[in-house]
């Protein structure tokens, strides 16, 4: 898997080039072995970004977002830290300052950037759930499940390796519902938003790990059904829901592209599909916007879901989302 590691650093070097030279008015002396990449600098609510510091080990780094420290972690040839803003974040501006010093050479670098969260309107989706699943619209039940997800994804750890870019979790699958849409169920019985991205799948289709990681949970939830949660390190987690079966166990280490489960329609689902979530620093964010940080990324096609009648819920095709 050495080529994947090389790919990660090649992409990072490209991203650093895209950021451009550091403004001399805002930077200290630049050492030849130090550079800082911050992407993106303009985000919508429900989006994540990262700081990447390229240089030798060890480095002394202080990174602060409006005075709040970001933990920088060594990633092989540089350091990584992540940041995120939740779905309901109001438009705002923040100052991100990264100060780097190489204690062996005395080289220093300071980078200051304005991070903007801009105004953005997500679409509205009205969803009707039949009586057989209406009990899953209970507000307390949904909040309890979301709280459990938060507890499983709050640790910020150093991974054994870091895969970048992430893979799509449903190879060849079209997107039927994007992240972030406001959702009204059964004319107001439950109001929430879509915490992930839905991919068209058939029952039994393979679901793959988006990146190297460790399985932190395999659970059968009321809403998400059979669910796998992976820890990728640096505060980044991925979640795969509505599966028909899991092929992994908690504690297991999985590799990028490895089949970890089979698609299904368990939980609050109106038809077979994969519900995929990306969680960064405890916040569910748009996984496709995360992947567009990679130059040349081509998102999967977007299609309308196939409507499912109540009598069709046991069929093996379809992809209407009820999550």
Query: In the prediction, which pLDDT does 77 show?
Result: 79
pLDDT, tens only, 219-246:
999 999 999 999 999 999 999 999 999 9
Name the nearest CA neighbour of 279 among 221, 239, 310: 239
If you average pLDDT over residues 17-40, what whole number do you get?
55
Report yes or no on whether pTM surpasses 0.85.
yes
Name the nearest CA neighbour of 11 among 294, 315, 244: 294
Residue 144 has pLDDT above 90, yes or no: yes
DSSP letter string, 49-79: EEEEEESPSS-EEEEEETTEEE--EE-SSEE
Work out the pLDDT band at 76, boundaries 50, 70, 90: confident
For residues 72 and 61, give the distance between their C-alpha atoms in angstroms, rounded to a whole number: 7
2-117 with 124-305: one CATH topology? no
Work out the pLDDT band at 304, boundaries 50, 70, 90: confident
Name the nearest CA neighbour of 278 among 221, 232, 309, 212: 232
Q: Which residue has the higher pLDDT, 77 or 310?
A: 77
What does CATH list as the number for 124-305?
A: 2.70.70.10
Measure Cα distances from 298 to 26, 62, 227, 277 in Å: 34, 34, 27, 19
Phi and psi, residue 41, nearest 5°? -100, -10
Q: Where are the domains of the chain?
A: 2-117, 124-305
124-127/182-185 β-pairing: parallel
2-117 sits in which CATH class?
A: mainly beta
Name the nearest CA neighbour of 129 among 121, 120, 138: 138
DSSP state, 11?
A: H
If you average pLDDT over residues 54-59, what whole number do you get?
92
DSSP letter string, 77-139: SEEEEEEEE-TTPPSEEEEEEEEEE-TTT--EEEEEEEEEE------EEEE---TTTGGGG-H
Query: In the prediction, which pLDDT does 93 show?
Result: 98
For residues 296 and 292, give the distance between their C-alpha atoms in angstroms, rounded to a whole number: 8
CB 220 within 8 A of CB 236: no
């Amino acid at each position: 898997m050495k080529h994947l590691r090389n790919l990660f650093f090649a992409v990072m070097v490209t991203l650093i080039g895209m950021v451009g030279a550091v403004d001399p008015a805002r930077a200290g002396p630049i050492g030849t072995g130090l550079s800082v990449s911050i992407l993106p600098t303009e985000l919508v609510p429900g989006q994540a970004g990262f700081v990447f510091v390229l240089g030798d080990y060890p480095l002394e780094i202080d990174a602060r977002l409006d005075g709040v420290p970001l933990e920088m972690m060594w990633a092989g040839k540089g350091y990584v830290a992540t940041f995120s803003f939740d779905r309901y974040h109001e438009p705002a501006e923040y100052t991100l300052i990264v100060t780097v010093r190489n204690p062996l050479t005395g080289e220093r670098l300071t980078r200051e950037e304005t991070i903007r969260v801009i105004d953005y309107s997500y679409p509205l989706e009205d969803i009707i759930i039949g009586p057989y699943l209406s009990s899953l619209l209970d507000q307390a039940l949904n909040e309890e499940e979301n709280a459990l997800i938060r507890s499983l994804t709050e640790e910020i750890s150093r991974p054994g390796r870091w895969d970048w870019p992430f893979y799509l979790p449903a190879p060849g699958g079209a997107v039927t519902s994007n992240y972030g849409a406001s959702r009204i169920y059964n004319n107001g019985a439950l109001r929430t938003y879509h915490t992930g991205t839905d991919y068209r799948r058939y029952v039994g289709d393979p679901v793959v790990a988006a990146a190297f990681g460790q399985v932190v949970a395999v659970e059968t939830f009321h809403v998400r059904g059979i669910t796998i949660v992976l820890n990728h390190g640096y505060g980044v987690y991925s979640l795969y829901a509505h599966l028909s079966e899991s092929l992994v166990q908690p504690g297991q280490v999985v590799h990028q592209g490895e089949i970890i489960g089979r698609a299904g329609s368990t939980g609050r689902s109106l038809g077979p599909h994969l519900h995929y979530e990306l969680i960064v620093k405890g916040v569910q964010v748009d996984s496709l916007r995360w992947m567009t940080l990679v130059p040349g990324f081509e998102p999967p096609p977007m299609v309308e879901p196939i409507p499912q009648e109540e009598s069709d819920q046991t069929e093996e095709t379809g992809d209407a989302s009820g999550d």
